[in-house]
Structure 1
Amino acid sequence: MKHLFFAALLLGAGRAAGQPSPRQLYPGLFEAVQLGHVYADGKTFVDATPLQPPAAIEQAYQAEHTRPGFDLKAFADAHFRAPGAAAGGYQSDVPAGIRHHLDTLWTVLARRADDAALPAGSSLVPLPHPYIVPGGRFREVYYWDSYFTMLGLVESHRLALVRHMLDNFAYLIGRYGFVPNGNRTYYLTRSQPPFFGAMVALLAQTEGDTVLLRYQAPLLREYCYWMADAAAVPAGQARGPVVRLPDGTLLNRYWDASTAPREESYAEDVAAQQLSAQPAAQFYRNVRAAAASGWDFSSRWFGPAGTLASIQTTDLVPVDLNCLLYRTEQLLARTYALQGNAARARDFQTAAARRARAVLARCWSPQLGWFVDYNWRTRRPAPQPTLAGVYPLAFGLATAPQAQLVAAKLGKDFLKPGGLATTLATTRQQWDAPNAWAPLQWLAVQGLARYQQPALARTVAQRWTALNVRVFEQTGKLLEKYNVVDTQLKAGGGEYPLQDGFGWTNGVLLNLLNHYPAAAPGQ
């Protein structure tokens, strides 16, 4: 396997430099706007379109901001055009029904290929093919969201759009060596849960093995991003996204290359860091790594204090991430087998088997009867169960007895009137109870079905889709997340208001409606 990791080292190196981000373009002005809360949402400014060249705006700010009576909001309004919501003008036709709404939303949330000649200073990274955005404040493509959106596109027979989105991700991998969190300059320091392989496999289910071969190169290069410099990581240490356990086993963690506050949540991060005992760089990296996980934020990432100030994301080997990379290794093995390259196929089969053994050994908690994250520093499994524990079922790593225990705990502890709670901890964080999210419902349903638990799978699907449909009939909206404990209340928590749209909710809902038709009678 040594040559495989040398390949990772070579292919993962030398990523192209990205466009400058807003903080780099507007030193001083950026901090003033974000810390001054000129906009209610910190993402507004970093998404705004500059009306003059960035250098001219920065020069004007330096010349004007010390003058008596300077109005920062007026200056921002004069030099930037603030963005609107992704589907801001759309009005739902509730009487037409949920399926009509879902079909219409694909058009509402679709974006054409971006103009490569964007205004100077735009934070958008242009994509060469059409894509779907989630909705609301999320005006760009998001990596792991897109897999769950694609589930609905496949059900809607919009395979051309699935191919376009895959080609966009392949383009981003070719340009940066990985898929960024989203196609914005301020996201170019981190990725998200690596669902590219799952996307490729999804299209291959319809179009055959040629799809696997078509995307082999970007699939390999993304894998190399996650395994970069693996050969140089000493036992018991970590470097970037790679963790080498004391016995030499290689696993992965979520990672962000930056140690600065997130640009899109700058004021929030600066304020939160002041409450933490961690050095600023360490705290910001842990916060950014949690953003890379997609679970921003959750008690899952917190230390014994149970607060954001104690966040320890980079100390954890996440069970979900390593299941996804296990799937990637399996797919790469298959692509090489299709090409008749038995040696390379065997390398990746071996890597997948080693990763599976490590996940079963480190992430299974017999005390909890559950799969959890593993703290590589303390060499102990995390004490709290979260819905990330369904990934080993969804991707086939779990043993049959483990799957039975997970199913029992799902039904006893996680199952609520509206579906599965994200964690068993009720906090003000949006990735905790009482909130629930479409991707985790779908993964749980798939895992339960895979391990012969059809009744519970149907119950989860039924409760989730019924909640989605009822909220739509009452409000005309499908939402980013839902309160599954008290289904009459909205989901809360997080750094921004509840968003509607919503790409991954739409995709999962249509998939479950089609595969569990009894879940929403009459729909």
Structure 2
Amino acid sequence: MIVRFAAAALFLGVAAEAAPAPAPAPPTMPVITATPADIYGPLYRAVELARLFPDSKTFADAVPRRDAGAILAAYREEQPRGPALRRFVLANFSLPATPAPPPPVAGARATPLAAHIAALWPVLTRQPLASPPGSSALPLPRSYVVPGGRFREIYYWDSYFTMLGLARDGRADLVDAMVENFTTLIERYGHIPNGTRSYYLSRSQPPVFYLMVGLARSGDAALARRRLAALRREHDYWMLGADALKPGQAARHVVRLADGRLLNRYWDARDTPRDESYAEDVATAAALPARARAGLWRELRAGAESGWDYSSRWLADGRSLASIRTTSIAPVDLNSLLYGMEAAIAAGCARLGDAACAADYRAQALRRGAAIRTLMWDARGGRFADLLWRSGRQTPTLSAATLYPLFTGVADPAQARAVARTVRARLIGMGGLRTTRAATGQQWDAPNGWAPLQWIAVQGLRRYGEAATARRIATRWLATVQAGYAASGTLVEKYDVERRGVAGHGGEYAVQQGFGWTNGVTRALMDAYPS
């Protein structure tokens, strides 16, 4: 097997003079800031469980009009209920303004889709943010692009797929600004949070920072060293606690298998209901004994870190959200991305003249790649599978995550050919790539298709010479988006790939319009498949 580090060389595109690569800051526990649920306690719980607002995220994003202590003292004194509670909240908090979705394009058939996407970037762009006192928003020094709708802040993995479109539309300024924002987040917090809110700081999302850097302008040697230091510090976040693990143990995001090999899992530092989905998490845990609820809430949070919130991938019984077991799984997508990160760090260290650093990360990538190709490969099913790390058994769910080892170059050629056959037979729908084949009502299951997974699949298949299968996925997805746009004048976050042009469904909130990563991936695929 030839290990593919070539793509990782994109991480540093500057001809820097040979110099030792900077060591990252020593590994530390990430900073976790108090969230609105921490600060307002009984008031927060009362507001969310009373369902004062249709979206649990509304109160999480509210900004207090006065000191939190004074608000809580007034709440304890007044004990408002029903309509009085709503009046109390409106008197003491400024609720977030949710921008109206971009208006449908009149005569969408006459307005080219590419032109519509280009016109959406200014609508979704936000200026540098200085967080108001008491706000859950995290400050950002540069402009950025949000997904749209209820997603008022930047999200980690969403942003990479959005940036694909920005780059094609000549918005290198915004790509560079967003990479700078993510670099500063790592420098401040030790990792990139799920999104730029205090309540997201306890977890991250699929680690694609190294891919973002590959899209940005390279700059000078000093900038290259700074980005490399940030990437090494992010790697430390994912590997924190690994050195002390014995076989069969886990710490935070890292697990040591029975044979001593290291892999990673999704995890969250908290075991309470999510601020942004508080009522939903309380309802999911309602049937469980009180002592079991914290465990369930951590599993739900870990599922949110995966980006696949939620999917039959994480469910022990394949259907019920209460059976979620995210932390028991070493996912193939996460470990493939970490392989890519390690390869990128090795390439960056080599370019900056630090041979010891390059050798260290190259060895880590080689070990992880070997584990993926052996432990996560299901030869009979022709797929890469998630791994139940305690038992070493593979989970039964066939999902679009099977394509990540192709995307990052970790698969061997025979595995890639087998995956392509499986994808053609079982995962391609009328409107693009299926997420899974299970129709559970969860949004990361059938019949939904998602823009980022289309991109991962197309790029992975093309990498291994499976051009026809890649084209089939890309052109069906483009037809789906085009049909939806022609019918409604809008783009949405997910689509039903069994019925071309129809928005997806399921999940904890209504389908959002906008939409950052749909715009980005669609624009990039239009470049790759102009006909």
TM-score, structure 2 length as denominator?
Answer: 0.92
Give the match for residue 310 of structure 2: 297
Match among 458, 463, 472 for residue 485 of structure 2? 472
Equivalence for 2:277: 265
Determine if contact 1:471/1:477 at 8 Å carries over to the other structure: yes
Structure 2: how far apart are the matches of 1:66 and 1:508?
Answer: 47
TM-superposed deviation, 1:211:
6.2
TM superposition shift of 1:121: 1.5
Alpha-carbon offset, residue 489 of structure 1: 3.9
1:21 pairs with 2:62: no
- Select the structure with the greater relative contact order (CA < 8 A; seq sep ≥ 6): 2
- Say which of 160, 167, 182 aligns to 1:169: 182
Q: Distance in 2 between matches of 1:271 and 1:399?
A: 44
Q: Which residue of 2 aligns with 1:74?
A: 87
Distance in 1 separating the partners of 2:422 and 2:236? 36
2:14 equivalent in structure 1: none
Residue 35 of structure 1 pairs with residue 49 of structure 2? yes
What letter matches 1:110 in structure 2? T
Contact 1:25 1:121 in 2 (8 A): no
- The alpha-carbon distance between structure 1 residues 283 and 98, as it changes in their structure 2 partners (threshold 3 A), is same
Residue by residue over 1:31-58, the C-alpha shift from the partner in whole angstroms, topping out at 9 and shown as x without a partner, is: 0000110001101111122222222222
What amino acid maps onto 1:57 in structure 2?
I
- 1:493 & 1:26 partners in 2: Cα distance? 30
Match of 2:448 among 430, 435, 455: 435
- The reply on whether 1:511 has 2:524 as its aligned counterpart is yes
**Distance in 2 between the 1:256 and 1:295 partners?**
14
Which deviations, in whole Å up to 9, do the C-alpha atoms of 1:73-102 show, x marking residues without a partner?
A: 121122222223245465535333212211
CA distances 1:175-216 after superposition (whole Å, capped 9, x unpaired):
110000000011010000010011112226x77988644410
Q: Secondary structure at the match of 1:71?
A: helix
State the match for 1:242 in structure 2: 254
Aligned partner of 1:506: which letter?
Answer: N
What letter is aligned with 2:71?
I
Instruction: Quickly say closer, same or farther: Cα 1:276–1:456, change in 2 above 3 A.
Output: farther
Alpha carbons of structure 1 residues 119 and 73: separation in structure 2 relative to 1, 3 Å = same
Q: For 1:426 and 1:276, locate their aligned partners in 2 and report how far apart those are by CA, in whole Å.
A: 25
Structure 1 distance, partners of 2:225, 2:281, is 42
Distance 1:214 1:21 in 2: 30
| Cα distance in 2 between the residues matched to 1:148 and 1:79 | 38
Q: Quick one: which amino acid aligns to residue 120 of structure 2? A: L
Q: Which residue does the alignment assign to 2:7?
A: none
Correspondent of 1:51 among 54, 60, 65: 65
The AA in structure 2 aligned to 1:26 is: Y
> Could you tell me which residue of structure 1 aligns to residue 126 of structure 2?
111
- Deviation at residue 506 of structure 1 after TM alignment: 0.4
Runs of 4+ in 1 over 4 A off after TM superposition: 206-212
Whole-Å separation in 2 of the counterparts to 1:464 and 1:212: 36
How many residues align? The count is 506
Offset, 1:24: 1.6
What's the Cα RMSD here?
Answer: 1.9
- How far residue 128 of structure 1 moved from its aligned partner, in angstroms, is 0.8
User: 1:101 maps to what in 2?
Assistant: 116
Distance 2:436 2:518 in 1: 19
Aligned 8 A contact 1:425 1:432 in 2: yes
CA distance in 2, matches of 1:46, 1:159: 33
- Secondary structure, counterpart of 1:431 in structure 2: coil
Give the Cα separation in 2 of the matches to 1:172 and 1:356: 28
- Taking structure 1 as the reference length, the TM-score comes to 0.93
Counterpart among 347, 356, 367 of residue 343 in structure 1: 356
CA distance in 1, matches of 2:471, 2:477: 10
**Aligned: 1:223 with 2:235:** yes
Q: Which residue of 1 aligns with 2:319?
A: 306
Distance, in Å, in 2 between the alignment partners of 1:445 and 1:258 is 35
Q: Which amino acid aligns with 2:338?
A: L
Distance 1:299 1:17 in 2: 29
Amino acid at match of 1:219: L
What residue identity is the alignment partner of 2:399? T
Partner of 2:149: 136
**Which runs of no fewer than 5 residues in structure 1 stay unpaired?**
1-6, 519-523
| Residue 463 of structure 2 is aligned to residue 454 of structure 1 | no
> What are the residue-to-residue correspondences of 1:406-425 with 2, within 5 Å?
406-425=419-438
SS in 2 for 1:149: helix
Matches within 5 A, 1:143-222: 143-203=156-216, 212-222=224-234
Q: Distance in 1 between matches of 2:215 and 2:225?
A: 14
1:289-345 residue CA offsets vs partner (Å, 9 max, x unmatched): 000000000000000353111110000001011111111111111111112221211
Q: Helix, strand or coil for the counterpart of 1:26? A: helix
Structure 2: how far apart are the matches of 1:511 and 1:271? Answer: 40
How far apart are 1:455 and its partner, in Å? 1.0
Please give the alpha-carbon distance, in whole angstroms, between the structure 2 residues aligned to 1:401 and 1:362. Answer: 16
Percent identity of the aligned residues?
A: 47
Query: What is the CA–CA distance in structure 2 between the aligned matches of 1:441 and 1:155, rounded to whole Å?
Result: 17
AA in 2 matched with 1:477: T
After superposition, the C-alpha distances for 1:264-298 in whole angstroms (9 at most, x for unaligned) are 11111111112347811111111100000000000
Offset at residue 11 of structure 1 (A)? 2.4
CA displacement at 1:64 relative to structure 2: 1.1
Structure 2 counterpart of 1:398: 411
In structure 1, what residue type is equivalent to 2:57? K
Looking at structure 1, the residues matched to 157 and 99 of structure 2 have their Cα atoms a distance apart, in angstroms, of: 18
- Shift of residue 427 of structure 1? 1.1
Structure 2 residue 267 is matched with structure 1 residue 252: no
Counterpart for residue 65 of structure 1: 79
Secondary structure of 2:148 counterpart = coil
Partner of 1:285: 298
